[in-house]
Structure 1
Amino acid sequence: MSADRPDGVLFDVDGTLVDTTYLHTVSWWEALRQAEHRVPMATIHRSIGMGSDKLLDHLLGPERDRGEDDRLRTAHDGFFGEYWERLAPLPGAAELLRACAARGLRVVLATSAAAHEVAALRAALDADDVIHTVTCSADAEESKPAPDILVAALEQSGLDAGRVVFVGDSVWDVAAAAGLDIPCVGLTCGGTGRGELAGAGAVAVYDDPAALLSGLADSPLVSRRRKSPTDKTDTQA
């Protein structure tokens, strides 16, 4: 096996493989509004990808009344749960996972979703036959942008940080990967722009899983050669 070839790929799920970023945005907006916190959806969207504790710090400030955090989380979960049966994979998501597995790469879902959400996400993906390991929020002491969930994914899958690539859709994903010096491929399908992902340190940026699949042979998922996000092979129409 080439020293430049990864052994596995860690995938974020929400907004990366399953089209949930804006559903989480609306769910948090409803939960916050219910508690009389008026936070613009655009501000909430830019926080999606953090764990709920850091998200609430970011939106309401660290000096907020933390006594209502559990109520806010429960409200968010209730609103988001209404979408579970309608969750949809992003274009090419399952096909990308299968293509990675066919190349001998270990496929790991490094998600910090709550355990009760993971089953719904996996059902939407419908690719359990090629998924080696799946994490959940309970596996990490600290949420993104801390790298704890990636550490858990590596430990559970038996992979080494120096032999993997992470695929995510938010700047918080890029930051978490950077904490372990793991190259992060960014996808814009979660609503974060190409320039923002590249500026955060993504080694390549694609529109969605289908675009990454189309360019898989030349992507960092196949070769650990660090590439600029503006490389021609990484620029999708």
Structure 2
Amino acid sequence: MPHDNASGVLFDVDGTLVDTTYLHTVSWWEALRQTGQPVPMATIHRAIGMGSDKLLDHLLGPERDHDADSRLRDAHNTLYGEYWERLEPLPRAADLLRACAERGLRVVLATSAAEHEVGALRRALAADDVIDTVTSSADAQESKPAPDILVAALDQAGLDAARTVFVGDSVWDVAAAGRLGIPCVGLTCGGTSRGELAGAGAVAVYDDPAALLDGLADSPLAAPR
């Protein structure tokens, strides 16, 4: 899609708008335990936000035997799928999306969740009426911290990076945005601290969608460049 003069906001979803970070952590922990490769939950949590390929490299090392990777992914997907009907949005997430749309911003869910997970996330958010574009892992050749999913989101929404802000909850989100020169607003509701997000380069940090909504008029989302 050709870019126009619209301004927009790209949102990560897992851990940013929907409360799933620890569900993914527990699901990976159990999948790894089942295959005899236990990893502490705190270590897994710090890797959430990467794609599964990079996450497994990060946790198990790139020189590992990759033959078990598909079994690990399948186990994670099965375990995580048990939560789909119980997913909860983070505080006032849908209100934040609507407030951005009311300001004339194009609202984009720049998620690298698998296509079969995206429907569950959208149902939890219940804000389809103001969402312009939604990506999935199928849109990115390489996962975060590579910026592929953000490039796909910009292209599909017809947005220019210079008129866009990204909102995410992990250092991997901040890194991906930084590679495109997009300011990233960090939220701590995914379990990553204010100091870590700011240290990674987040231009502002808030507790959760509700806190960002309360401060929206003075936030980087008020006037993307």
TM-score interval (norm. to shorter)? over 0.9
CA shift for structure 1 position 224: 3.8
Match of 1:231 in 2: none
CA shift for structure 1 position 67: 1.2
The answer to whether structure 1 residue 151 and structure 2 residue 146 are counterparts is no
Q: Per the alignment, in what secondary structure is the counterpart of residue 107 of structure 2? A: strand
The answer to whether structure 1 residue 217 and structure 2 residue 194 are counterparts is no
CA shift for structure 1 position 6: 7.3
Counterparts of 1:223 and 1:40, CA distance in 2: 41
Q: Per the alignment, in what secondary structure is the counterpart of residue 198 of structure 1? A: helix
The answer to whether structure 1 residue 7 and structure 2 residue 7 are counterparts is yes
Q: What one-letter code is carried by the residue in structure 2 that aligns with 1:210? A: A
Q: What one-letter code is carried by the residue in structure 1 that aligns with 2:152? A: A
Aligned 1:67-106 pairs, distance under 5 A: 67-106=67-106
Counterparts of 2:90 and 2:202, CA distance in 1: 20
Counterparts of 1:86 and 1:186, CA distance in 2: 25
Aligned 8 A contact 1:134 1:153 in 2: yes
Unaligned stretches of 5+ in structure 1? 226-237
Normalised TM-score (structure 2) = 0.97
Q: Per the alignment, in what secondary structure is the counterpart of residue 149 of structure 1? A: helix
Among all aligned residue pairs of Structure 1 and Structure 2, give the percentage whose two residues are the same amino acid.
Answer: 82
CA shift for structure 1 position 39: 0.2
* CA offsets 1:170-209 (integer angstroms, 9 cap, x no match): 0000000001000000000000000000000000000000
CA shift for structure 1 position 52: 0.2
Count of matched residue positions in the alignment of Structure 1 and Structure 2: 221
The answer to whether structure 1 residue 61 and structure 2 residue 61 are counterparts is yes
Match of 1:126 in 2: 126
CA shift for structure 1 position 83: 0.2
* CA offsets 1:83-110 (integer angstroms, 9 cap, x no match): 0000000001000000000000000000
Match of 1:31 in 2: 31
- Deviation above 4 Å: which 4+ runs of structure 1? none
Counterparts of 1:41 and 1:116, CA distance in 2: 25
Q: What one-letter code is carried by the residue in structure 2 that aligns with 1:128? A: D
Q: What one-letter code is carried by the residue in structure 2 that aligns with 1:138? A: A
Counterparts of 1:48 and 1:58, CA distance in 2: 10
Aligned 8 A contact 2:144 2:172 in 1: yes
Q: What one-letter code is carried by the residue in structure 2 that aligns with 1:208? A: D
Counterparts of 1:139 and 1:46, CA distance in 2: 24
Q: Per the alignment, in what secondary structure is the counterpart of residue 64 of structure 2? A: coil
Match of 1:162 in 2: 162
Aligned 1:165-176 pairs, distance under 5 A: 165-176=165-176
Match of 1:199 in 2: 199
Counterparts of 2:6 and 2:55, CA distance in 1: 32
Match of 1:189 in 2: 189
Aligned 8 A contact 2:111 2:134 in 1: yes
